[in-house]
Amino acid sequence: MVSCLQAAPAQTADPVEDAKKADEQRQKTIQENEEDLAAARRARELALNENERAENSVKELDKVVAALRRQWLQEFQADNSEKATEAETKLEKAKQELKEAKQELKEAKQELENAETKLEKAKQECKAQAGAQACRGFCVALEKCQP
């Protein structure tokens, strides 16, 4: 919590001018905090979407790999080496794509975690600013913030 003395603006010879400057600074800080919060929310939303896309990609490629594995096994058991080799080639390619998709998912999860951390930080900054404003308003109302 910000103490009343910390929240008090620098004093000049003109209390009205001091109040105007303090209010301008407060409004600027509020606007910056709101912009930071909005940006953090947008970044989190983008990260959520990317994470969902990556998860869906991994699920689909898991299915493709499983189907190609079955196809390869059938061709191998049928002693059809040409088709088994084709299926094996496709299977290896799908495995590589799956590996890449899992890496993308890992990165998307990290981005989501980072975005959530930034969002939480932006929320805390807004709360802290609101607390400082409340303290300043309370102190001014009680006229207890005299240096």
CATH code for position 105: 1.10.287.620
pLDDT at 72: 96
pLDDT at 132: 61
**Contact criterion met (CB below 8 Å) for 7 and 135:** yes
**Contact criterion met (CB below 8 Å) for 54 and 105:** yes
pTM equals 0.68
Domain assignment present for 29: yes
Q: How far is CA 124 from the centre of its chain?
A: 15
Domain assignment present for 60: yes
The domain in which residue 91 lies consists of 4-142
What is the number of domains present in the chain?
1
Domain assignment present for 37: yes
Checking if the pLDDT of 129 tops 60, the result is yes
Question: Which residue in 60, 47, 50, 54 sits closest to 101, CA to CA?
Answer: 54
- State the virtual CA torsion across 27, 30, 36, 42 in degrees, nearest 10: -100
Separation CA 69–CA 71 (nearest Å): 5
Mean confidence (pLDDT) of the chain: 83
Domain assignment present for 85: yes
Domain assignment present for 53: yes
Domain assignment present for 147: no
Separation CA 123–CA 33 (nearest Å): 8
Quick: pLDDT tens for 46-97.
999 999 999 999 999 999 999 999 999 999 999 999 999 999 999 999 999 9
Quick: pLDDT tens for 23-40.
888 888 888 888 888 899
